[in-house]
Structure formats: C-alpha cells, structure tokens
A and B are shown apart, each in its own frame.
Chain A
Amino acid sequence: MSKPNLLSKLAILADAAKYDASCASSGTIKRDSTATGGIGSTEGMGICHSYAPDGRCISLLKILLTNFCVYDCRFCINRASSNVPRARFDPQEVVRLALDFYKRNYIEGLFLSSGIIRSEDYTMEQLVEVARLLREEHRFQGYIHLKTIAGADPALIALAGIYADRLSTNVELPTEAGLANFAPEKKPATIRKTMASVRTREAEVLDAAKSRLIGKAKPPRFAPAGQSTQMIVGADAARDDDILKSAANLYSGYRLRRVYYSAYSPIPDASSDLPPVRPPLMREHRLYQADWLLRFYGFERAEIMAGAQGGMLDLAIDPKLAWALQRREAFPVDINCAPREMLLRVPGLGTRAVDRIIGARRLGKLRLADLGKITVSVKKLLPFILTPDWRPGMLTDSADLRARFAPPPEQLALAL
C-alpha cells in the first residue's frame, strides 16, 4: 500500500460517508483501558473532537468500507449507476486508521458503513470483522458504531451487537411509496425486520443477564448505545407529518435512541428527478425540534401538527411557539405554581430551565429578575408567563405576537 493510495481511498470513502448525519458517540456504557492496558474509553458523554465548516461535529471516524454498491437508490451518491470514483478498504486499513486517529485524540471511535457488495451477508461480515479486529486484536475500548445491512442474517446482527456500541439501519425515506420509487431494491419490510431483530436480540441478552446464576461473570451488553436510523428530508414528496408519523412508529416499535433527519443535499451526478436545490436545513432543524417535543416535552403529534399547515411545519417559528400561538387560552402560565407539564409548554423554557424553576420556587417566589439567572432569554417568555412582578396583560392576545418572534421579512432587491 503506497501512501498516496491510502489518502485517495480515504478521501473517496469519507466523502461517500458524509451523507450519514449520525455522529453521536454518547449513551453507551462506561469503559476504559485501566484494566486492559490498551487504548480507549467511553464515559457516557460523547466528545466532539472537531467541527467541520458545515457546523457538524466530528466525533467518529465516519467512513465506508467500500462505496461499490449493487443497489441503485437514486438519492445515493454510491448507487450502482453513479459515475463516482470507487474504492475499497481492507479491514486492516480501517483498523489502522481508526487507531492512528484515536491515539492522537482526533476521534472518539469509528462509524463504519458500507455499500452492498456481493450480498447483504458478505457485507455485514466484513463490517463485523473490522469491529472484531479492533476489540479483540487491539483491545480497543473506544466507541464503535456499525451500520447494519438490512436483510443480513440475524446471527450476524447478533455478532455485530457484541462488538458495537451502536447499530443503525437507515430507513432513508419516510414513506413506502417514496422508497419504492427511489430505492427499488430496498424493502421497508426488510429494514423493519432488521430493526426488530436488533430489538429482540437486545431483550434476549438482557434476559440472559438477569437470569444468570450468581457468581457467573456478567455477559457483555448487546449494543449498549442502542440503535438509530436516518431519514432523508426533501428528496421525495413526503410531508413533515409523514416523517413524524414514521418516526413515532419507529421509536415505539424498535426502541430507537435517535431518528436522524438529514436534509437532502445535492449529490454529484444526481438522478434527474431529484431536487437540485439547496438542502432544506431549516426544515431539518424544525423536524428535530418537533422530534424533541414528542420525546421530552409530552407533546402528541396531532398537537404539533395543529401549528402546521398542510402537514408542513412552520419554517419561520419553532413548533412549540407555533402551538402556543394556536392555544393562547392556555397562557399566561404562572411560573410559581404551574405544574411541570405546563411549564414545559412555555415557549422558551427547556427541560433544564423547568427543572431549575421547580427547584428554585420551593425556596421562595420567583420574580422576573430571578428567571434571568435561570434561563437564557426572558424576553421570549414575557407574553406567556406570570410572575409576582410581571403580567403580560394584552400581550398574550395581541395580534402581532407571531411577528414579534418571526424573523423580519427580507427586503427584495429592486431592479434598477
């Protein structure tokens, strides 16, 4: 292997991986190298070691084992019919890159995915082999995220979960119709079955751990950081409502830790029916906000969509504010006596601020100045809250409330 060859492979196979949004290295068990004398640790909280100018964190070495692929998904740069330059790492090369980067503190671990070569099973075997080499031959204790190849044998998935912290199977498109149209070889049923096999395997391993005989060593956890998936936003005609519905189903069915939303980016050598537009970054952002409301703020999907139009979230204001503007009769909320679930619905209050308010108000009434020490922006709260020294009066019902929060309209350029 000559040096430039490795560099050009790295360039091709990292470029091919950048359309996968996930880079999380959090949520796994605590481990370190004190006992093994090797390299690596995971401490629960992942670390972002760098940031690219696209604002995304770089926490894992995110690469493809190969970008050759027998599938022809039209939204994908690596589809069979694409003219993109192709490359393939052998497992040892990936292991060396990951360790070299790790020892210099560039990364938290490895995120390994791959195009499908020969068969789903063969591809999955190759991915598992890299993880095995790292764990068994090199005593690597850092983070490993493996892509599970939909349709691979459950026995391989079970093996992958022994070595990996997290597994992910990408749904890619939120609707059955979109997938049938853009990714003829990908079957939603196959993807869901793969996720189901991860979840059932997780449960089996947990049960085995619980029912083990006293004194026996604890068996290793299966994919302790759980599983995740990704949906591409804006490549097909799916609406935000479809996307959130699909996400809610996936969260409930397969106990996903995260659904990633990835604004469709133009790819070189694109298929002609794909939008050659700028990626809908704001839409992606609003979907994440809605996803958070579903998972941490006790919102139902129907409530979030009440603030939407035609199944699409408002791009100008966040979904919580959009909901609050529809439900003004629920406001203002008294900071000093409202229940937790109502405080969570105040635009501008996050889960942490709510916890702090509840802790602080036990020790005395909170005034506006006190809120300033608890939250970042009191100004945003004003129309929606009551404190002993503040009443919003007519502000809550004022017609221009939306305009106060929405970004100012942009001046159109005048033709000369």
Chain B
Amino acid sequence: MREVVLETPGDFAEWRAAARGLLAAGVPPEAVSWRGAGEGASLFGDAGTASAEASVSVSRELLVIADRVICHRDAEVPARLYRIVWRAARDQQLLARRTDADIDWLMKADKAIRRDIHKMHAFVRFRRIGDDAGRERFAAWFEPSHRILRLTAPFFQRRFTGMDWAIVTPDARAIWADDELRFGPGGTRDEVPVSDVVEDQWRTYYGAIFNPARVKIAAMRAEMPKKYWHNLPEAQDIAPLLAGAEARVERMRAEAVSMANPRTEKWRTRVAETGTPTDEVATLGELAHAVDRCTRCPLHCDATQGVAGEGPQGARIMVVGEQPGDQEDLQGRPFVGPAGQLLDAALDEAGIDRRRIFLTNAVKHFKFQPRGKRRIHQTPTAGEIDVCRWWLDKERALVQPELIVTLGASALRGVTGKSASIASMRGAVHALEGGAKLVATVHPSYLLRLPDRERAAREREAFVADLARARKLAA
C-alpha cells in the first residue's frame, strides 16, 4: 500500500505531482492511500518516492475539471480523482460516459464547485476600510462551501482592478494591492468591519424594489440559500418585508381610486396631438405621413411603418413594386433591401437615374409570417392590393408620370385593377386611363429566387431590356 500525504488540501499542483508519479510507476488506485497532513498515518503505508517522469497523458478537459474538483471538501476527493485519471488513461471515452458511476460523481462534484464559485461571485459583500490617496480600500469576509478562493480571486481582480481589496475566508485570504494578487492564511470574521455607510442605501433599495404583490419565497431561497444570509446586509430585511407584504397589498386594494392629481397639470406639457389621419393630401410629404398612419386594412398592425413612394414630384417614370420587404419596413424607404439593390444595378445598366424616377409599391405595409428571427414575405391578397390602390392612385395623381413600369403581378393589379399574367402583358406598351403608358415586367425578387444560374442571367438581361425600353418610351 503506497501512502501519499497532501500538505495543502485543495492544492492542485501538489496532487497532480503525486498522481503523475503514481501513474508513471503504474500504481493502481486500490494500492494508494491518500491522506491530508495531520491525519493519522495508515499502519501499512510506505511513502515511496514518486518519479516525476510523466509518461501518461490525460485529456486537457479532465485536468481542467480536476483542478476545480480538488477544491471539494469531501475527504475522498484525491483518491477518487486518482482513480478517474487512472481509468481515463486506459479509456479515451471515459469522460463522455455520463452514466458511469465515477464520471457521474465527478460531474456532480464539479457542478457543486461551479455553483459554489458562482455564489461566491454573487454574495461577497465588500466593506470600505478607507482610502490611500484617492484609491479606495475594501475588505470582505466570506465562507465558501469549498476551498475555492484561488478559483474565484482572479474574477475579483479583473472586476475590481481600480481598488484595493481583501477577501478573508476561514481557509485562506486573497489580497489585491500594488498591482499584485497575493494569497495568505485563513482568518476570522472580526478582521473585517461590521458595516459600511452605503449599506443603508442598499437596504433602502432592496426594500423598494421588492414587489409585495408577488411573494415567492421558495424561488428566493432556491437561489439565495439561507447559509449565505448572515453575510448579506439586505437579508435582515427579508422577514420584516414579508411580514408587511400582505398589509401593503391590502392597503393598495382598499384605497379607492383617487381623483386625478390636479398639481400635475402645472408641469404637464401636452403631448403633441398627432390628430386623426386625414386623407386630404396636397404634397408627397403629406402623403407619406398619411400612409404611415393608414389603418385601412389590418396589415398596419404588425408592420413597423407604412412605406410611401420616393422620388421627385415631376418624375416621368414611376416604378411600382409589390410591397415593402423586411429592410424597407425597418428603414421606411422603398427598394432598399436585396431586391432593391438588384433593381438599382438594373436601372444603372438601362441608363435610368434612380434619383429622377418615382419608386413605390402597390401595397404600403409589409405583410409577413414570423419564423424565429426572420420575417418571411407573404404575397398580399387581391383584396389588400385593391384597398391600397387608394394610395397608389393619389401618388399617380400627384406625380403624373408619363410611363408606369409595374414589377410583378401585384403591381400590375395595383395599377390596372385587374389580375393578368405578366407573360401576356410583357413586351408591349399599354395605354392607361388618363394618358399614361404602362410597361409590365417581372419583380426583381423573382430574379433573386431563380436557382439555375444560366436562366437567372437570361431573365436578368430581359429585365434590363424592359427597363431600357421604358427609358426610351419616356424620353
């Protein structure tokens, strides 16, 4: 029986050196007895000399876990960890065997340590002990369940770099001062001041943020176990707050609704009335405002905003699309998304300056189906297009274009009021009531959806040709 004495419980380097030697010497776990310094020696132990020749390798992940678990207070930890590394050296898959008894134990112990670390990050409470030339000094007393101070101190160092601090625990202390993190021996509670001036403010806050109408004691206790309470200045208020909660809620219920406070009228400036949407619009600017407030169909309920047309009032060409897409809905401008970029490039090739034409849509609100983090475009119904023609007609009346280019079937219906196939209308020039001409072509988003690259290229050429024809007609 080999005997290993660990001087410092929770010291990973010491355990690791011993375990390495034992692994290299091929000592099986059942032939090792681990004990802490000061514990009675076993009758059959021999100290043996550990060779530091490391020839056995275990996974990095296991070492990281062992580094944490060695801090566990369970006296069996060094021996169990050794058995696990012994087995891991012979079974590459060991860590993945969540249902193995040793690994199950390891994971539970690791979880306990990680929880303990988390609670220490949360429940340490510093108290101010003074300041040196503007640099404040703080101290805290804390009793973690396990020997985790060395695991938590770096967190406090990263977070509280700009002040000096000490955390004293029964096992050890950590001190951050002069740009150096030092560890020292354990201490006692009375090394740390009993209160701090800010604690009154903190307790006031704690009492005020508590909602007496929602008492959930079990939820509080699950996350903030009682063993930590004696460290928390706010914990002394829990009982009185709970005791008064019912009465506070009752008082709220019993109090009849009071009259509106007359004093508020003095400082209350009226919020500008947006007024009811009026349909009387004389300019494109007024029209854009009116479109944004439109509630003629339910599409406005889910969309961000109504997107009116964009372009000069005297534009010769009016390009009509289907409806705003995701980007148009967010930015409040027509044709700024992927289809808009394709249209821009095509207009360029056809020799049309986007700034000199009027761009709009048959439907002014984005219709979509939510799908996780994306909004899937939905084709507007004939009914929705017909309701929205009200706005399209107003835009046509204000802009008076000579030529209207419709992109896709919805736009065609928006302008003509009839459903016709694009194929039947394409390539010809149609006369509209009021004297304008109509050229029908596809919607750029159709080009984006074509999977076959050759066909997409052909269709794109045809689209540019349609636009070029429109430019000549309006010249």
Chain A interface residues toward B at CB < 8 A: 6-7, 10-12, 14-15, 17-19, 32-34, 36-41, 43, 47-58, 61-63, 68, 70-71, 80-83, 97, 100-101, 103-106, 118-119, 139, 176, 185, 187-189, 192-193, 195-196, 199-200, 248-249, 251-253, 255, 263, 265-272, 276, 278-279, 281, 295, 356, 359-360, 362-363, 366, 369-370, 373-374
What's the minimum C-beta distance from A246 to chain B, rounded to whole angstroms?
Answer: 8
User: A11-B204, A253-B302 provided; 10 other pairs, C-beta below 8 A?
Assistant: A12-B208, A55-B218, A82-B261, A82-B264, A97-B201, A195-B304, A196-B305, A252-B372, A278-B249, A281-B214
Query: A271 — nearest CB in chain B belongs to which residue?
Result: B257
Contacting pair B126 A105 (CB below 8 A): yes
Checking A7, A33, A68 against B201 with a beta-carbon cut-off of 8 angstroms, the contacting residue is A7
Q: Give 17 CB contacts A-B under 8 Å.
A: A15-B209, A18-B210, A19-B211, A40-B159, A50-B232, A51-B220, A52-B206, A54-B211, A55-B216, A80-B261, A82-B264, A104-B202, A119-B269, A252-B368, A276-B253, A356-B98, A363-B93
A295 to chain B, nearest CB (A): 7
* Contact, CB under 8 Å: B161 / A62: no
Q: Is the CB of A37 within 8 A of B162?
A: yes
Interface of chain B residues 116 through 170 with chain A (CB within 8 A) = 118, 121-128, 136, 138, 140, 155, 157-163
- Supposing A49-B122, A105-B140, A251-B372 touch, asked if A62 and B218 sit within 8 A by C-beta, the answer is no
A135 CA to B215 CA, complexed, in Å: 36
- Minimum CB–CB distance from B289 to chain A (whole Å) comes to 12
- What's the minimum C-beta distance from A367 to chain B, rounded to whole angstroms? 8
A196 CA to B304 CA in the complex, in Å?
A: 7
- Shortest distance between the CB of B334 and any CB in chain A (Å): 15
Interface residue stretch chosen among B75-83, B238-246, B379-387? B238-246
Q: Is the CB of A269 within 8 A of B257?
A: yes
Residues of B contacting A267 with CB < 8 Å? Answer: 252
Which B residues touch A263, using CB under 8 A?
A: 214
Contact B224 A51 (CB under 8 A): yes
Q: How far is the CB of B295 from chain A (nearest CB, A)?
A: 9
Which of A33, A106, A193, A366 is in CB contact (< 8 Å) with B161? Answer: A33
Q: Report the Cα distance A303→B229, complex, angstroms.
A: 44
- Given contacts A39-B160, A370-B99, whether A104 and B198 have CB atoms under 8 Å apart is yes
Pick from A6, A34, A54, A71: contact of B210, CB below 8 A: A54
B161 proximity list for chain A (CB < 8 A): 32-34, 36-39
In the complex, the answer to whether A249 meets B208 with C-beta atoms within 8 Å is no
Q: Please tell me which one of the listed residues B162, B200, B214, B305 contacts residue A54 in the complex, with CB atoms under 8 A apart.
A: B214
Query: Residue among A36, A52, A249, A267 with the most chain B CB within 10 A?
Result: A52
Pair A50/B136 contact, Cβ less than 8 Å? no
Question: Is B260's beta carbon under 8 Å from chain A?
Answer: yes
Q: Taking CB as reference atom, which chain B residue is nearest A357?
A: B98
User: How many pairs, one residue from A and one from B, have CB atoms within 8 Å of each other in the complex?
Assistant: 247
B94 CB → nearest A CB, Å: 10
Given the known interface contacts A47-B118, A83-B261, A252-B371, the answer about A32 and B159 at a Cβ–Cβ threshold of 8 Å is: yes
With beta carbons under 8 angstroms apart, the residue of B96, B155, B196, B251 that contacts A43 is B155
**In the complex, how many residues of chain B place their beta carbon closer than 8 angstroms to a beta carbon of chain A?**
92
List the B side residues contacting A359 at CB < 8 Å: 96, 98
Taken together as a complex, chains A and B put the C-alpha atoms of A39 and B97 apart, in Å, by 42
- With beta carbons under 8 angstroms apart, the residue of A33, A63, A360 that contacts B160 is A33
Interchain CA distance A192-B157 in the complex, whole Å: 41
Also in contact, A55 and B219, with CB within 8 A (given A10-B204, A47-B118, A105-B140): yes
Chain A residues closer than 8 Å to B270, beta-carbon distance: 70
Bound together, the chains give a CA A199 to CA B192 distance in angstroms of: 48
List B contacts of A43 (CB < 8 A): 155, 158
List A contacts of B216 (CB < 8 A): 53-56, 281
Contact A58 B206 (CB under 8 A): yes
Q: Report chain B residues within 8 Å CB of A255.
A: 373
CA distance A356 to B103 in the complex (A): 13
CA–CA, A175 to B432, complex, Å?
41
Contact present for B269 and A193 (CB under 8 Å): no
- Give CA–CA (A265, B371) in the complex, Å: 32
Is residue B44 contacting chain A, with contact meaning CB distance below 8 A?
Answer: no
B90 in contact (CB, < 8 A): no
Contact A50 B234 (CB under 8 A): yes
Question: Cβ of B458 < 8 Å from any Cβ of A?
Answer: no
User: Complex: how many Å from CA A62 to CA B209?
Assistant: 8
**Interface check B64, CB cutoff 8 A:** no
A11 to B113, CA, bound (A): 37
B274 in the interface (beta carbon within 8 A):
yes
Q: Tell me the complex Cα distance, A369–B98, Å.
A: 12
Give the residue of B122, B138, B330, B368 whose beta carbon is less than 8 angstroms from that of A47. Answer: B122
With A83-B258, A360-B98 as contacts: A53 and B304 at CB distance below 8 Å: no
User: With A38-B161, A266-B253 as given contacts, are A58 and B373 in contact (CB-CB < 8 Å)?
Assistant: no
Return the chain B residue nearest A265 by Cβ. B213
A279, B304: Cβ atoms closer than 8 Å:
no
- Interface status of B370 (Cβ within 8 A of chain A): yes
A374 proximity list for chain B (CB < 8 A)? 98-99
